[in-house]
Structure 1
Amino acid sequence: MKQRIRTIDGLRGFSLLGILIANMLIFQYGIFGKDSPEHFQLASLDTVAYVWTKIFVESSFLPIFMFLFGYSLIKFQEKLERNQLKGKRHLVRRFLLFFVFGLVHSIFVWEGDILLAYSLIGFVMLLFMNRKKKTLLVWAIILFVLTSLMGFGEVVQTEKDIQLMESYIQEETDAYSSENYADALAFRKSGELPFDLPEFFYVLMLIFTPLLIAPLVLLGMYAAKSNWFSNPKQERKWYIRGAFGFGLTGLLLKSSHYIINDPSWTEGAYSIGAIFLALGYIFGFSILYTKETGKILSSFEQVGRLSLTNYLMQSIICTAIFYGYGLGLFGKLGVSLGILLAIVIFVVQILFSQFYLKFFRIGPFEKVMRIGTHMSWKGQVKQENGESVA
């Protein structure tokens, strides 16, 4: 059991590194600007780094986080059931806290927040918590196929669409380059998007967003019920097969986006490849736990144990570096140096996590989550007789 938990914590830390590298594009160029590098006139080295990030990193580390979210839901419920408590009550409070954290984070710090998505998908997953593992796997496959099919087909951009996007990117650049924090805040609160679409379409987007990330969450729940990662040495052959099978397929599909000039096919292939590569990374990283673990893996685990705190700190640090009210490097540093900066920040987070965990068991934001989830100032599970369980 201890080894399995170490693997999950290590994967959390590993995914945080990938998420930070991918998010560097958003911190530097904005959510939509990151897909329009021509607007920022990248140097040759930055163009290479940009394509590398798109193929090897972007869209393939957040799914790992979603997988781990589903895995943790089942393990959390099992812990509550061992203490003869009803899981849904605690989970609802947990998802509400994710919603509050995500709302504050997305409005006052950075719009690239994922905690709101955690909250939304969490409430949907309440429908699946007590289902058999086979049912979870079937639904994961069905939703994966359905959402993947949505990615195929060419989207024709009109001249008006192009102008709207260019105008939006310029407004975003101006807002985040401004030395006045109020300008960045006003831009985020405006809710403006570069699309000329009817209002009901945005409501549909909000409804369908949980379905897009549901497959990985369901797969994580299936993995938890199947006790994946509990016996790494015995599971080694499956890790190797998964790493090579999913990993290579994912890289080929994501690379096709830059090799084949057919948007009607490559967009969908990229989305599928991103998920496959995420699974390849999960199995590939798990191979490391089939041997004696060392300091490097321990470092990833320590960052993973403070995953919520480290995730939020990444946003605070990077917005302070790139936005105008901080160092003002928005759109100026470059992709290649951005990758190096991400690695430096992650190393600092390793050192911080190692130091912090010498004195405390859980991070400050994790502590708030526990207090709110269990309705206990100690942040511990309360049994029906009122006794607390660590």
Structure 2
Amino acid sequence: MNIETTFQETVNPETTGKTLDSGTLLQPVEQRKRIVILDVLRGFALLGILMVNMQFFNVPFTITMGEGRLWADPVNSGANWLIDFFFHGKFYVLFSLLFGMGFYLFLQKADEAGRAILTIFRRRLLILLAIGILHVLLLWYGDILVIYALFGFVLVWFRRKSTRTILIWAGVFMLLPVVLTALMAGFINFLLSIPEIAGEMQDGFAQQEAQFSELTRQAILTYSQGSFPEIISMRLTEYSYILGGILFFFPFVLGMFLVGMVFGRKGYLADIGKNTGFFKKLLFISLPIALIANFFLAQYAPRTSHTMPDLELIILNAGFAIGGPSMTFVYISLIALCIHRGWFSWLSERIAVTGRMALTNYLTQSIIATTIFYSYGLGLYGQVNVWQGIILTVCIYIIQIIWSQYWLKYYRFGPFEWLWRSLTYWKMQPLKR
């Protein structure tokens, strides 16, 4: 099979439909209309996301987001450095770009099909939101689907804006966490310069440190020994802290949504052969930026606390803002050029099958990992170091390749993709081949 052949839909959302009579619902795209490279990129992103998330499954977020690491020996520190350099902050960026691209292609049909498709689009996002909420409640606090669904509604406002306007807003959203961190750091330093306030603030910082230490202790105890209801309660507590920092982290997702819209509008991934020059230029520009920015990111990540706005956190956020997208563009360019030349086609085809079931595989990663680490499963919470986590990640991903190949031999969609489609179109979609 020529992996560049266009036969697949873009990014799990259905991107085409038939305009029928005014009371007829738009139908989802057929399998033969998918764009394969997008499945390869989604499948690749699944591996990278699991590589990063493995540490968050295994230890409290107060440790992974705080200063220092649980395993500080040279071998595990080296493994952490590699994860920070090549993986951390790159693959949710890639997923966000693909998400934005897919929904742009979905939304552009509104111009041809009328407002009916906007109703379907909003329903699709609401269903994704519900899936994300259940994911948080029943499986893991590190869900990204809720944020994707909420920010997805914003894409409607940009669909008729010029490419220049979209890119300007993308830059604003992506730099917002850096600017907010800098402003917060400046404000805190200003308050600390006032003697009447400085003492109270230092006491507040000490209380925050004590609170995080207690939360860490509770998380380790609950996830390793607690009952399922206790784990749910702990998970919601951790999730509330994550949502509290929404303005400092998640605008970046919206920025990459908008970059994805531009990719969709320009058709860069729809016809790789026509755009090889673009991908070569993108690689030439992005590679040196990615190497420099991610070097600083990997250097500062282990010693920077996300809970205290200071110069190191500003540098770290700048590393994410620059290093994440630039390395993502490097990955996209390399994969596009390899697919165009027919290199590694055997591997690409196998990665693509996981991408065709991206939602299912994303959720099953949480099911597998929490079963391994939490008390209701094997109870290995806090016992798997970084290198062991890398090996475990590769093993889980290989299992997902095998399972995805087997499933798609008999069924048209992954189980959660089928559920999402059926609820989106308010009609049971055919599942078996």
**When the two structures are superposed, what TM-score results if normalisation uses the length of structure 1?**
0.87
Aligned-pair distance for 1:152?
A: 3.8
1:255 to 2:295 alignment = yes
Structure 2: gaps of 5 or more residues = 8-33, 190-201, 304-310
Letter in 2 for 1:253: A
Relative to 1, partners in 2 of residues 1:23 and 1:137: Cα closer, same or farther, differing over 3 Å? same
Deviations 1:51-110 (A, max 9, x none): 211221111110100000001002223456555663210111001001100000001111
Letter in 2 for 1:304: G
1:266 to 2:296 alignment = no
Relative to 1, partners in 2 of residues 1:150 and 1:348: Cα closer, same or farther, differing over 3 Å? same
Q: Distance in 1 between matches of 2:299 and 2:127?
A: 43
Instruction: Name the SS of the counterpart of 1:113 in structure 2.
Output: coil
Q: Distance in 2 between matches of 1:264 and 1:125?
A: 29
Specify which of 289, 295, 303 is matched with residue 339 of structure 2.
289
Aligned-pair distance for 1:194?
A: 6.5
Partner residue, 1:388? none
Specify which of 251, 269, 272 is matched with residue 211 of structure 1.
251
Specify which of 414, 422, 425 is matched with residue 363 of structure 1.
414
Q: Once structures 1 and 2 are overlaid, which stretch shifts more, 78-87 or 47-56?
A: 78-87
Letter in 1 for 2:6: K
Q: Distance in 2 between matches of 1:207 and 1:257?
A: 20
Letter in 2 for 1:324: S
Q: Is the 8 A contact 1:151 1:271 kept in 2?
A: no
Letter in 1 for 2:334: G
Partner residue, 2:355? 304
Q: Distance in 2 between matches of 1:264 and 1:6?
A: 38
Where does 1:100-139 land on structure 2 (aligned, <5 Å)?
Answer: 100-139=130-169
Specify which of 87, 90, 103 is matched with residue 60 of structure 1.
90
Aligned-pair distance for 1:2?
A: 0.5
Where does 1:187-226 land on structure 2 (aligned, <5 Å)?
Answer: 187-190=234-237, 202=244, 205-206=245-246, 211-226=251-266
Residue identity over aligned pairs, in percent, reads: 26
Instruction: Name the SS of the counterpart of 1:235 in structure 2.
Output: helix
Q: Distance in 2 between matches of 1:274 and 1:84?
A: 37
Instruction: Name the SS of the counterpart of 1:40 in structure 2.
Output: coil
Q: Once structures 1 and 2 are overlaid, which stretch shifts more, 246-255 or 338-347?
A: 246-255
Count residues with an aligned counterpart: 373
Q: Distance in 1 between matches of 2:390 and 2:400?
A: 15
Specify which of 371, 377, 392 is matched with residue 341 of structure 1.
392
Q: Distance in 2 between matches of 1:377 and 1:318?
A: 31
Letter in 2 for 1:267: L
Q: Once structures 1 and 2 are overlaid, which stretch shifts more, 139-148 or 110-119?
A: 139-148
Aligned-pair distance for 1:46?
A: 1.2
Q: Distance in 1 between matches of 2:116 and 2:127?
A: 18
Q: Is the 8 A contact 1:148 1:268 kept in 2?
A: yes
Relative to 1, partners in 2 of residues 1:330 and 1:243: Cα closer, same or farther, differing over 3 Å? farther
Q: Distance in 1 between matches of 2:215 and 2:116?
A: 47
Larger Rg: 2
Letter in 1 for 2:218: E
Letter in 1 for 2:398: V
Structure 1: gaps of 5 or more residues = 196-200, 381-390
Q: Is the 8 A contact 2:142 2:239 kept in 1?
A: no
1:241 to 2:292 alignment = no
Q: Distance in 2 between matches of 1:259 and 1:341?
A: 25
Give the superposed CA RMSD.
Answer: 2.7
Letter in 1 for 2:404: S
Q: Distance in 2 between matches of 1:50 and 1:208?
A: 23
Aligned-pair distance for 1:206?
A: 5.0
Q: Distance in 2 between matches of 1:354 and 1:141?
A: 38
Q: Once structures 1 and 2 are overlaid, which stretch shifts more, 78-87 or 271-280?
A: 78-87
Q: Distance in 1 between matches of 2:239 and 2:121?
A: 32
Instruction: Name the SS of the counterpart of 1:217 in structure 2.
Output: helix
Partner residue, 1:91? 121
Q: Is the 8 A contact 2:297 2:320 kept in 1?
A: no
Partner residue, 1:49? 79
Partner residue, 2:12? none
